[in-house]
């Protein structure tokens, strides 16, 4: 049974991000479909800002998740005592209790757990412009040794003020804690306390988005437009969406159309822009154009979801052809060229 010790203490959000990256884009996309808007937005941000996690540590996260699933399964079948008995039989009494304890702890979200991965000087740098009440709140949740080191580096008058605020602190509202966490986590990412590479990042997000249906993709981006427009813009810059068909050369679009079902094409064009329609119609025969226009007229009104699904299937063709190196999709200003 593995010993879950990490290079730095991962928060529950970070573990979830590491797990999704480790599971791959197909499974991650399926999980995204089951989450609510807030959870999707939170996970997307955490994956995009995830720091480098060694492969051994990622394996431990996956193994911990697997063990948690086993314990939950055992508990559902026969309760916690039943789970304990099965674990004791397989790994021994001590390890069983240790595992149950760790799994129980890992399910708890401890506020500001992410600051444990930085040292006292970095934490002081992170907090120096914050309101004293925010500083007191953060230090009240950090390791006592880390908190004492930060306090010792403060000016004398500030030291007394922070200690006074910590001692008189009541129960902080979850909304205030969540807001403070979000601000500080972004500050950590922007200050670049670590020069390690990113295992998640935009590439991981794009991989997941490539497996999502168009409705989910649009919904997530709309949420991020409100909550983190910079991240939304960066994701869009790396994605190829249906409207990007106008960026394809004639050779590229002709190659794509060879792989597209005519029914999907007719449905997808129902809500396409004039530029996209012009591109498609300009790269098919007059007879095919006439057939498509007839099909579009005959089929009448369609559900938005059906149109989006058809558009997503066409986008999937583009992405697949790119992966197979049959076309090269430029993410810059250059046109897409046949590879």
pLDDT band at residue 269 using 50, 70 and 90 as cut-offs: very high
Could you read off the pLDDT of 225-261 as tens digits, one per residue?
A: 888 888 887 777 777 878 888 888 889 899 999 999 9
Angstrom distance (rounded) from CA 329 to CA 318: 8
**338 vs 130, residue with greater confidence:** 130
pLDDT classification of 280: cutoffs 50, 70, 90? very high
Return the domain boundaries, the chain: 1-111+196-239, 119-191, 242-338
pLDDT band at 267 (very low <50, low <70, confident <90, very high): very high
pTM of the model: 0.42
Q: Does domain 1-111+196-239 have CATH number 1.10.220.30?
A: yes
Residue predicted with more confidence, 42 or 276: 276
Angle at 309 between CA 305 and CA 310, to 5 degrees: 120
Cβ neighbours of residue 87 closer than 8 Å, sequence gap 6 or more: 71, 74, 95, 96, 99, 100
User: Is 1-111+196-239's fold the same as 119-191's?
Assistant: yes
Instruction: Give residue 314's Cα distance to chain centre.
Output: 24
- CATH number for the domain running over 119-191: 1.10.220.30
Give the model's pLDDT for residue 239: 78
- As its CATH architecture, domain 242-338 has Orthogonal Bundle (1.10)
The pLDDT of 298-321, averaged and rounded, is 87
The Cα 131–Cα 117 span in angstroms is: 22
């Amino acid at each position: 049974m593995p010993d879950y010790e990490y290079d730095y203490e991962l928060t529950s959000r970070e573990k979830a991000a590491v797990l999704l990256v480790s599971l791959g884009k197909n499974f991650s996309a399926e999980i995204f479909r089951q989450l609510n808007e807030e959870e999707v937005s939170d996970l997307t941000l955490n994956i995009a800002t995830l720091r480098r996690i060694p492969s051994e540590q990622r394996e431990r996260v996956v193994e911990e998740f697997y063990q948690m699933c086993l314990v939950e399964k055992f508990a559902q079948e026969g309760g916690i005592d039943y789970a304990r008995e099965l674990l004791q039989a397989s790994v021994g009494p001590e390890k069983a209790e240790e595992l149950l304890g760790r799994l129980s702890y890992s399910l708890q979200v401890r506020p500001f757990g992410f600051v444990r991965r930085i040292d006292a000087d970095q934490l002081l740098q992170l907090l120096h412009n914050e309101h004293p009440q925010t500083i007191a709140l953060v230090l009240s949740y950090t390791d006592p040794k880390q908190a004492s080191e930060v306090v010792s580096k403060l000016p004398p008058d500030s030291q007394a003020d922070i200690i006074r605020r910590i001692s008189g602190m009541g129960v902080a509202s979850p909304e205030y804690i969540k807001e403070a966490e979000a601000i500080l986590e972004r500050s950590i990412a922007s200050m670049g306390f670590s020069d390690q590479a990113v295992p998640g990042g935009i590439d991981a997000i794009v991989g997941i988005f490539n497996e999502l249906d168009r409705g989910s993709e649009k919904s997530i981006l709309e949420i991020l437009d409100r909550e983190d427009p910079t991240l939304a813009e960066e994701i869009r810059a790396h994605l190829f969406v249906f409207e990007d068909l106008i960026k394809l050369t004639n050779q590229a679009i002709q190659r794509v159309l060879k792989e597209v079902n005519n029914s999907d094409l007719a449905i997808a064009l129902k809500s396409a822009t004039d530029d996209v329609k012009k591109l498609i119609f300009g790269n098919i025969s007059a007879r095919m154009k006439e057939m498509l226009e007839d099909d579009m007229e005959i089929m009448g009104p369609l559900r938005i979801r059906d149109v989006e699904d058809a558009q997503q299937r066409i986008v999937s063709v583009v992405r697949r052809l790119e992966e197979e190196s049959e076309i090269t999709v430029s993410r810059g200003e250059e046109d897409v060229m046949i590879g």
